Structure 1
Amino acid sequence: MARPDPQNEIWDKHLHPHLRLLLPSSSPPIHLEARLYLPLPLPESINKHINILGEYSTVPKKLEDLDAGLRDGLRDMGVERVVVASHPWGRLGGSMLDPVITSHLITAIYHPYHSHTTDPSTIEGANPDPDSTAVISYNVRGVGLSGGSQPWLGTGSDPNDLAEIEKIGVGLLGDSVKEAFRFGYSWGSLLTILAPFPTASHIPLKKTLLVSPPITVFKGITLLSSKKFPAALKDHHIHLSKPVWVVYGTKDEFTGASTYTHFADEQGKEVVKSIQVDDADHLWRRDEGQKLREVIRDWLDASGENEQMDNKLA
């Protein structure tokens, strides 16, 4: 048997959550299953507490069961940025284990140069400062170990749940956190936009990236909602004072490229930074997945000066 590659062992650690949690939803006593990814190397105060190597049989801990030493260790890590990730529709099998989150997002942040391709032109890019970034993903109600259930029409409590997970994640990591980012994939894009903004003035929501939002489907989901997706998107832009990034593929099975283009034109460049990836489908497989990672890295590193620029990735 071949000896394991030490570099692959390091890579494996990036792919696994460092802490599995059951966190209160916006309407306790319902709890939501969550995963907190932390930058490496972990300090010893954290290392001795948590399942680094992906021991999936480990029972998630409730927030109130985290001991004082672990809480202190998390706050002492100096994490400055928290990315909250929202997954596809649970009614169609979506969960926080979707590869767009567990592979593409996590890879882009913590291991930006890992790739299955040997073409250097596809893996060059700026490092999005993984040393100061944490990611929290979670299952919406009725998915995995999360309690409750999702409605068939509308979004129910899901947007408020996202805001609650965001608040708890930031709270666990302490006063070093300076900014919150939101990442929504597919149906999760809707929650990302509808969720209330952080209330703590010292933790501003700085950036939002929507991956393959099925905007035509959103019309039906929000039919009875008080706020529709386009209106919420404009409010989101006003809050950010910069465009919301939207990336999509030309072969998306749910939304045609022309629909995305028309939607972006209607919203305007000041509201939406639209990025089209040729040949990518809704699942972001094969080389198109690597292109998505490039977009994620660009989004993490983007300054206000290049927010307005439209892109197309062939």
Structure 2
Amino acid sequence: MARPDPQNEIWDKHLHPHLRLLLPSSSPPIHLEARLYLPLPLPPSISKHVNILGEYSTVPKKLEDLDANLRDGLRDMGVERVVVASHPWGRLGGSMLDPVITSHLITAIYHPYHSHTTDPSTIEAITPSPAELCGRTAVISYNVRGVGLSGGSQPWLGTGSDPEDLAEIEKIGVGLLGDSVKEVFRFGYSWGSLLTILAPFPTAHHIPLKKTLLVSPPITVFKGITLLSSKKFPVALKDHHTHLNKPVWLVYGTKDEFTGSSTYLNFAEEQGKEVVKSIQVDDADHLWRRDEGQKLREVIRDWLDSSGDNEEMDNKLS
């Protein structure tokens, strides 16, 4: 079968080009499966390495196996923003392939006006081209230990090395894309929200962490997970805010199966508006399906475009 051209095919097939990688964890013998989603257009040095879901599959490459042309191509793309995405709990089937990441986050970033129910030919006529929509943003998602092709295993209680792994993936992703990167955002969904907050802050000057968005964090569950941990979620969240010097965004649905609206409201009130910017979406459950998924994409776009401070924005979406 002929290899598809990611520049032309990706828009029509609701997909986005990415590299499949095996990256070192915070414990180097253990590698983690990752995907690096890239903005369009792709230079020729990268196109031949790109994996497109549904068309063909590539074998994930280890960091040391990336050839010089690919490394140079990544650095020459001029990526200015990297979004690091963390997935739901692996013990319950969570992975980097969760639709909240592969569909809602990726679509909000690269195809903000795209709809699975709309004829792509009509979209192309009335909206900016895919290259214009992609901007200069890359997304890196990964499987925690024991999920997919990632080595090791995930603990039943506590977070183990997972927060440190997120920070390591973040550092490697920025390193691959070079000195053009100006800012890093963190995106945590469900259990992944905990890792997003607990992960060590970047220490290198060239990795400026600017914004964080938490989607449906199961706050009550976190109390049990961190029972034996030295740092609890509320304390870590305040530390995170101090580092960002701006509110952490938190979006949740009124029909979330793990956490009630009143719990989220009370939590946000206890933390204070300077720490948490909470957004409630009516009728959305934990999985963000159907119309509620589109509302989540709207929140993601607002988060991406925000200055990060307490902008005026409705804290409820109907």
TM over 0.5: same fold?
A: yes
Measure, in 1, the Cα distance between the counterparts of 2:48 and 2:5.
Answer: 24
Measure, in 1, the Cα distance between the counterparts of 2:281 and 2:121.
Answer: 16
Measure, in 2, the Cα distance between the counterparts of 1:11 and 1:187.
Answer: 31
Q: Counterpart in 1 of 2:50?
A: 50
How far is 1:219 from its partner?
0.1
Measure, in 2, the Cα distance between the counterparts of 1:102 and 1:283.
Answer: 13
How far is 1:190 from its partner?
0.1
8 Å Cα contact 2:25-2:31 kept in structure 1: yes
Query: Mean alpha-carbon deviation: is it higher for 13-22 or for 262-271?
Result: 13-22
How far is 1:9 from its partner?
3.2
How far is 1:121 from its partner?
20
Measure, in 2, the Cα distance between the counterparts of 1:11 and 1:259.
Answer: 40
Measure, in 2, the Cα distance between the counterparts of 1:309 and 1:96.
Answer: 29
Measure, in 2, the Cα distance between the counterparts of 1:286 and 1:118.
Answer: 14
8 Å Cα contact 2:7-2:41 kept in structure 1: no
CA displacement, residues 70-108 of structure 1 (integer Å, 9 cap, x when unaligned):
000000000000000000000000000000000000000
Give the TM-score normalised by the residue count of structure 2: 0.90
CA separation of 1:284/1:125 partners in 2, compared to 1, >3 Å: closer, same or farther? farther
Q: Counterpart in 2 of 1:262?
A: 266
Q: Which runs of 5 or more residues in structure 2 are unaligned?
A: 131-136
CA separation of 1:184/1:303 partners in 2, compared to 1, >3 Å: closer, same or farther? same
8 Å Cα contact 2:256-2:286 kept in structure 1: yes
Give the TM-score normalised by the residue count of structure 1: 0.91
How much is the aligned-residue C-alpha RMSD, in angstroms? 3.7
How far is 1:28 from its partner?
1.4
8 Å Cα contact 1:17-1:54 kept in structure 2: no
Measure, in 1, the Cα distance between the counterparts of 2:27 and 2:183.
Answer: 25
CA separation of 1:119/1:260 partners in 2, compared to 1, >3 Å: closer, same or farther? farther
CA displacement, residues 212-262 of structure 1 (integer Å, 9 cap, x when unaligned):
000000000000000000000000000000000000000000000000000
8 Å Cα contact 2:163-2:198 kept in structure 1: yes
CA separation of 1:118/1:71 partners in 2, compared to 1, >3 Å: closer, same or farther? closer
Q: Counterpart in 1 of 2:63?
A: 63
Q: Counterpart in 1 of 2:19?
A: 19
SS in 2 for 1:225: coil
8 Å Cα contact 1:12-1:53 kept in structure 2: no
